[in-house]
């Protein structure tokens, strides 16, 4: 799951150069795990609440609409808040707000109110938005500037770990409650059906109370630890005035505008596929899995993004052949473990490893060129989604799950290409790209509409269009063009 830029433009280091911040960085890393975990837990709640409230696909996708709309609405206010109260206090308030959002799940489930659930999602996502705005800059300044890149990779890895573990835990604590099939539910009396659905809705109470407790504890830790101050600086880039006269706004840069569209469709496609997976894999013509079992397979989708990110980091780094091969072997070993742990089947884990190998081939074909690699990954993702629409059974299941591998580095690559050569407009460009994350709110609802009208199987044509656009951006759209945006 994309988490936005890791450092705020214009932030300066106020930390002591030789001081160790190991404990502070450990606590900070836990934040990346937590918001990855909470965000991907939505993929488990969508089918669960759809069943509990008898929702259609559009109505159930309002969960993602509410969640990601909070990013769009609260990003700029969050920046203003941290400027006024400081980054450390911003982290504490963000954690507290997210904890309050988790607490709101208790009355929402108790009263069986879907609007109250949506309100809880909005408060929770607002807290996470503030948390990201306040926490991201600290990753860069807690330690030596020379090791900032490794710290960024570490925190992103833990974010991916959270997105991988969430479906596994959510399936056990939440989806396992939904043990009755539609036929079995129909055999109950109306009163028994109501009681069962109340029990379904209430199953989220304990897990989210636990999340609230964890968030409040982390907030308390941040309230007492000492963190270096972060101060804004004024851009003194040479020739800045002339640059501003020529390009008065980041919106004038064509490759940035196209990149913002790329972020919009990427986040939308990634979130949309993840949101539909449980319902999709539960279809008799796909895999016919129980929702609790389908939820575990979602971990392969998000875990694939983590594995692909590792492969990308290794292949793009300047490493000796022996060390690179060793690291790739360890990644494949982890992929084999994850595949077998979830499927409990040697054949299926081998199938998953075959897609991991295909992902490695794509990275090697990209030859370290970001635009080219992005295009190949996007073409690969679009082909996989087309295949899942053309096939049924195991081929349809594995091709859609393998898309996660190809999602891996799309977000940071699009982001990096889009802010290239923006000069003093880099900060504004970053803000525009972060607001484009609202694609995670819009595209799942659109796919929900098509799932209700033409069926869930063929509604995946929408992510195909998204990935084809990203492929275009990787081939041509990212190239800075002289002049202004048109």
**Torsion angles phi and psi, residue 374, rounded to 5:** -60, -45
**Angstrom distance (rounded) from CA 433 to CA 88:** 24
| pLDDT at residue 250, rounded to an integer | 81
DSSP 250: G
| pLDDT at residue 9, rounded to an integer | 46
Domain 242-486 classification at class level: mainly alpha
Alpha helix (H) ranges present in 53-86? 57-60, 62-85
Tell me the three state secondary structure of residue 11: strand
Tell me the three state secondary structure of residue 143: coil
User: What is the second-level CATH architecture of the domain 19-231?
Assistant: Up-down Bundle (1.20)
| pLDDT at residue 251, rounded to an integer | 84
| pLDDT at residue 388, rounded to an integer | 97
The residues pairing with 12 across neighbouring beta strands, listed in sequence order, are 231
CATH 1.20.1250.20 in the chain, residue ranges? 19-231, 242-486
State which residues of the chain have pLDDT below 50: 6-10, 12, 180-183, 233-239, 483-486
Beta strands 11-12 and 231-232 are antiparallel
**Angstrom distance (rounded) from CA 73 to CA 427:** 18
| pLDDT at residue 80, rounded to an integer | 85
Best CA proximity match to 15, nearest among 137, 152, 149, 134: 137
Best CA proximity match to 24, nearest among 91, 102, 124, 100: 91
pTM: 0.86
The residues pairing with 232 across neighbouring beta strands, listed in sequence order, are 11
**232: part of which helix (H) or strand (E)?**
strand 231-232
């Amino acid at each position: 799951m994309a988490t936005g830029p890791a450092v705020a433009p214009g932030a300066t280091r106020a930390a002591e150069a030789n001081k160790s911040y190991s404990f502070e960085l450990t606590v900070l890393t836990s934040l990346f795990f937590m918001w990855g975990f909470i965000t991907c837990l939505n993929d488990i709640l969508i089918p669960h609440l759809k069943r509990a409230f008898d929702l259609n696909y559009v109505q159930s996708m309002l969960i993602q609409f509410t969640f990601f709309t909070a990013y769009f609405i609260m990003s700029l206010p969050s920046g203003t808040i941290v400027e006024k109260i400081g980054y450390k206090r911003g982290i504490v308030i963000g954690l507290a707000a997210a904890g309050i959002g988790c607490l709101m799940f208790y009355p929402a489930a108790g009263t069986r109110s879907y609007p109250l659930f949506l309100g809880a999602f909005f408060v929770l996502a607002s807290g996470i938005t503030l948390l990201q705005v306040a926490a991201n800059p600290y990753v860069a300044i807690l330690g030596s500037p020379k090791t900032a890149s490794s710290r960024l990779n570490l925190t992103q890895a833990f974010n991916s770990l959270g997105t991988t573990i969430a479906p596994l835990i959510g399936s056990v604590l939440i989806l396992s409650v939904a043990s009755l099939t539609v036929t079995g539910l129909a055999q109950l009396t109306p009163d028994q059906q109501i009681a069962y659905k109340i029990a379904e809705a209430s199953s989220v109470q304990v897990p989210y109370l636990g999340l609230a407790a964890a968030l409040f504890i982390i907030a308390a830790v941040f309230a007492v630890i000492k963190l270096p101050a972060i101060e804004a600086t004024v851009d003194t880039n040479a020739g800045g005035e002339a640059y501003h006269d020529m390009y008065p706004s980041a919106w004038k840069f064509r490759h940035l505008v196209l990149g913002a569209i790329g972020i919009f469709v990427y986040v939308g496609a990634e979130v949309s596929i993840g949101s539909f997976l449980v319902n999709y894999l539960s279809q008799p013509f796909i895999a016919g899995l129980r929702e609790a079992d389908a939820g575990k397979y979602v971990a392969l989708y998000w875990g694939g993004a983590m594995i692909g990110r590792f492969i990308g980091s290794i292949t793009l780094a300047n490493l000796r052949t022996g060390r690179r091969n060793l690291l790739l072997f360890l990644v494949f070993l982890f992929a084999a473990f994850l595949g077998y742990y979830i499927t409990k089947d040697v054949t299926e884990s081998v199938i998953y490893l075959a897609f991991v190998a295909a992902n490695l081939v794509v990275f090697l074909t990209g030859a370290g060129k970001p635009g080219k690699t992005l295009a190949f990954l996007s073409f690969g993702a679009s082909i996989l989604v087309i295949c899942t629409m053309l096939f049924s059974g195991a081929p349809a299941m594995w091709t859609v799950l393998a898309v996660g591998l190809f999602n891996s580095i799309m977000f940071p690559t699009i982001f990096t290409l889009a802010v290239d050569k923006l000069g003093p407009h880099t900060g504004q460009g970053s803000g525009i790209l972060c607001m484009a994350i609202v694609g995670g709110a819009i595209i799942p609802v659109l796919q929900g509409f098509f799932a209700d009208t033409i069926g869930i199987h063929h509604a995946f044509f929408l992510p195909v269009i998204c990935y084809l656009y990203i492929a275009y951006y990787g081939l041509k759209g990212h190239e800075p063009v002289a002049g202004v945006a048109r």
